[in-house]
């Protein structure tokens, strides 16, 4: 089949746009990430004198970095529509966010849709696969205090101990509020077959759009971060004992991401923008942590039920183009999530100005010394 001139022009334009976007992203990373690190190096005395103020500033810089990542998708037309509970109502409380995992773009989607949720982004902690430690953003996540978890049965027990230690050391000392994790333990396409085989063997529901979640990290987070009970007994760990002023983990936010035609957006698409503009749909359901069982078997059943519900939500979405209405209501209400282009331009400009400032400073120091 012959390629028409119009088709060739369209392909050429898409390739050129992708190349320019990639060049901008590289330049953005080359100035923004080193600037983040250098600002925090300079502010180390403040960390000693006033740790709270230091981590406040770090959180603001971290939010701006995540906003830059969000802008790459936003300006390519990859927008978000939100459904279900309004999570802004609990943005100042401590919450655990459970998310289904389909592709690398899931993280980018969350970086975008959480930008307008008050202080959430600057005070959140991420649990992510250890491979992300070796990406360009790895140094930022290490400084911020995110936790990189190694997957696999041989590492599981050790990783859960390390997670508990990490939470006790960093979560409250850095005033973290939300913790985000993907309980499925991997991408849908990689885990679906194994999960379905496990479900068949154990007489569990057959899931197509999600996989059965793993209990470990969720259980550790609940045990470590849930506040003391009214009778005075501690359901959390040493971190709770040390931070008596904290109300502890108060909410579990069940978050379901749905892509048009069940075609996930990966990080390459997010950066290069070669896919047509698309709307990603995000559904929230908020549970009080007091309603979440603590015993392993009961918690496993509760967690399984959440992902069975996700399966139903996604099945309904892919059939109708919308999430179903909440129980007792006749219509589901969606909310279009928006970002300010002026604000995105402002933080991008700040990043490049910072890069120029650090370059001039190092040039000046070099000439003074040599």
Residue among 193, 234, 191, 224 nearest 101 (CA): 191
Q: What is the rounded distance in angstroms from the CA atom of residue 255 to the CA atom of residue 84?
A: 9
- The pLDDT value recorded for residue 229 is 53
At residue 186, what are phi and psi to the nearest 5 degrees?
165, 175
Residue among 155, 179, 158 nearest 167 (CA): 179
Q: In the structure, how many helices (H) and strands (E) does the chain have? A: 12, 8
Average pLDDT over residues 346-351: 96
Q: What is the rounded distance in angstroms from the CA atom of residue 69 to the CA atom of residue 265?
A: 14
Q: What is the rounded distance in angstroms from the CA atom of residue 345 to the CA atom of residue 121?
A: 19
Regarding beta strands 278-288 and 78-84, do their DSSP bridges make them parallel or antiparallel, or are they unpaired? Answer: parallel
With a threshold of 0.75, does the pTM exceed it? yes
Query: Which tens digits make up the pLDDT trace of 14-38?
Result: 898 899 999 999 999 999 999 999 9
Query: Which tens digits make up the pLDDT trace of 174-192?
Result: 999 999 999 998 899 899 9
Average pLDDT over residues 43-51: 96
Average pLDDT over all residues of the chain = 89
Average pLDDT over residues 1-16: 76
- The pLDDT value recorded for residue 2 is 60
- The pLDDT value recorded for residue 151 is 78
Q: What is the CATH number of domain 78-227+247-339?
A: 3.40.1130
Give yes or no for residue 350 having a pLDDT over 80. Answer: yes
Q: What DSSP designation does 236 have?
A: S
Evaluate whether 211 touches 188 at the Cβ level (below 8 Å). Answer: yes
């Amino acid at each position: 089949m012959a390629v028409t001139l119009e088709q060739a022009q369209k392909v050429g334009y898409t390739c050129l746009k992708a190349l320019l976007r990639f060049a901008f992203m590289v330049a953005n990373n080359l100035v923004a990430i080193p600037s983040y690190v250098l600002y925090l190096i300079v502010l180390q005395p403040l960390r000693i004198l006033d740790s709270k103020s230091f981590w406040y500033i770090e959180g603001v810089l971290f939010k701006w970095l995540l906003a830059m990542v969000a802008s790459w998708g936003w300006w390519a037309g990859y927008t978000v529509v939100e459904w279900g509970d309004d999570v802004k109502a609990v943005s100042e409380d401590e919450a655990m966010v459970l998310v289904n995992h389909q592709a690398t773009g899931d993280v980018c989607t969350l970086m975008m849709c959480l930008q307008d949720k008050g202080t959430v982004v600057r005070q959140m902690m991420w649990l992510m696969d250890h491979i992300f430690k070796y990406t360009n953003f790895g140094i930022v996540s290490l400084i911020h205090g995110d936790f990189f978890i190694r997957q696999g049965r041989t590492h599981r027990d050790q990783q859960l101990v390390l997670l508990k230690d990490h939470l006790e050391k960093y979560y409250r000392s850095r005033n973290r509020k939300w913790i985000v994790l993907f309980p499925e333990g991997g991408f849908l396409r990689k885990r679906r077959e194994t999960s379905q085989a496990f479900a068949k063997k154990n007489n569990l529901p057959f899931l197509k759009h999600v996989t059965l979640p793993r209990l470990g990290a969720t259980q550790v987070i609940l045990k470590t971060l849930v506040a003391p009970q009214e009778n005075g007994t501690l359901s959390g760990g040493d971190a709770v004992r040390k931070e008596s002023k904290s109300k502890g983990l108060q909410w579990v936010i069940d978050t379901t991401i749905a892509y048009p035609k069940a075609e996930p957006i990966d990080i390459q698409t997010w950066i290069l923008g070669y896919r047509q503009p698309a709307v990603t749909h995000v559904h929230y359901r908020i549970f009080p942590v007091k309603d979440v069982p603590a015993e392993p078997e009961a918690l496993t059943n509760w967690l399984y039920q959440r992902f069975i519900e996700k399966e139903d939500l996604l099945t309904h979405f892919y059939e109708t183009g919308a999430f179903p209405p909440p129980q007792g209501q006749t219509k589901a209400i969606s909310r279009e999530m928006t970002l300010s282009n002026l604000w995105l331009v402002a933080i991008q400009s700040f990043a490049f100005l910072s890069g120029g400032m650090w370059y001039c400073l190092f040039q000046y120091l070099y000439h003074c010394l040599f």
